[in-house]
Amino acid sequence: MAATPTVPPRTALDEPTAPIARRWLTFWTLANFGLFLAYYATQQILIPRHAGAITADSAGSVWAQSTANVAAAAVGVVAPILIGVFSDRTTHTRGRRQIWVACGAVVAFAGLVAQGLQQTVLGLVLLWAFVQIGLSATTAALNAAVPDEVPVNQRATVSAWFGVAQSLGPLLGIALVALVLTGIAPAYLALGLCLVALAVPFSLGTRGIPLPKGGMPPVSVGSILRGIVAPLRHADFAWAWGGRFLIQLSNALGQIYLYQYLKDRVGFDPDLGTLILVVVYAVAVTAAALPVGRISDRSGRRKRMVVIASVLQGVAGILLAFVPTMPGAIAGAAILGVGFGAYIAVDQALITQVLPRAEDRGKDLGVIQIANTVPYVFAAAVGGVVINQLGGYVTLYMLVLATAVLAALCVGPIKGVR
């Protein structure tokens, strides 16, 4: 009898083909849930509240928020790439990504606790920037785990669960700090504890395929700098990067000053109003993300849904600009949620399909993370100027529309994905 050919075991750099286990998906989703719970509740509620307690007036509070978000975003440009480079080369027995998820959560926890004790704008800015180092480590590792472990025909579904975590995590976090933990320091502590409790189980309860020692070239400053530019020479990756940058800029312009918008323009209690909008947004994201992700995986089509989702985000900007009432804001949040739910499920899967090299998944997704982070630099810096000097909230939310339309136009030239 002829011998049955043996199939060599999959290596850390091979494309995954086996269906992802529910255990892995559960822990991965919970880790993202904790990440977004801590990040968005801090950014949207705690930092505005903290800035208001430190400064004397509304303009000073906006300036403090803007400065803190610019500093954090600047750190978020550099950290994901460096972490991606080193996680690509990690030879831990549990896999390349797991240890970075846990360590990042612990670093962010320490930063949040210290941030809650700050009584100056400088302290607030520096500690929020420090927290980004930990959050960036957790984010970069969780993102890179998807192309490492998830087959292409499940990536939109997995990314849909990312969208659910990104909507429900802030909902719980904002509910905690708006309704339960009204003190600044206890709220920071609680968010940090939630992050650690939800992220660390991924590191302890899952395993990746270990990278053998010596399996990757050594790191140098030159290789890191070349690695930032190299993936952008691939046209599909460059267009996907541009689309993500623009849609995140649209998101950032729409979200960063929402608390202040409710207070100054709508005349509604900002803590309660933000909570209401987040609930509406979360329900809309969840309702859209999972079915759209499954449809995209079954059909293999990504681009059309990304375009539709981008346009919906622009429509939400129109409502926020010209209907400055609580019902208008609720309608805008619902449309934005449907659009973002569809977008994040499909675009994240699209991006994993245009990564140039398996060896550089973590680093290249760190380059993508620039497109997630740098828009907050622009939005935080430009948003405060627009609100105070260049037409106020109408101009701000028309920029949401313009950037969303430009993001939709970036999808067409991508050739390697349907």
Domain extents in the chain: 22-214+227-409
- Average pLDDT of span 220-249: 81
- Residue carrying the six token digits 């240890």: 99
Half-sphere exposure of 389 (CA within 13 A, CB side): 7
pLDDT in tens, 310-369: 999 899 999 999 998 999 999 988 998 888 888 888 888 888 888 887 778 888 888 888
φ/ψ (deg, to 5) at 411: -80, -35
Just give the CATH number of 22-214+227-409: 1.20.1250.20
- d(CA 2, CA 12) in angstroms, rounded, equals 31
Q: 418: helix, coil or strand?
A: coil
Q: Enumerate residues 6+ apart whose C-beta is below 8 A from 381.
A: 66, 70
pLDDT band at 1 (very low <50, low <70, confident <90, very high): very low
- Residue carrying the six token digits 């494309």: 15
Q: Say if CB 240 and CB 400 are below 8 A apart.
A: no
pLDDT in tens, 325-337: 999 999 988 998 8
pLDDT at residue 230, rounded to an integer: 67
Q: 135: helix, coil or strand?
A: helix
pLDDT band at 197 (very low <50, low <70, confident <90, very high): very high
- What mean pLDDT is reported for the chain? 86
Token reading at 13: 């750099």
pLDDT at residue 28, rounded to an integer: 97
pLDDT in tens, 68-96: 888 888 888 889 888 988 888 888 888 88
pLDDT in tens, 17-74: 889 899 999 999 999 999 999 998 998 889 988 988 888 777 778 888 888 888 888 8
pLDDT in tens, 112-162: 999 999 999 999 999 999 999 999 999 999 999 999 899 988 999 999 999
pTM, entire model: 0.82
- d(CA 36, CA 250) in angstroms, rounded, equals 18
Single out the residue of 148, 210, 122 nearest to residue 17, CA to CA. 148
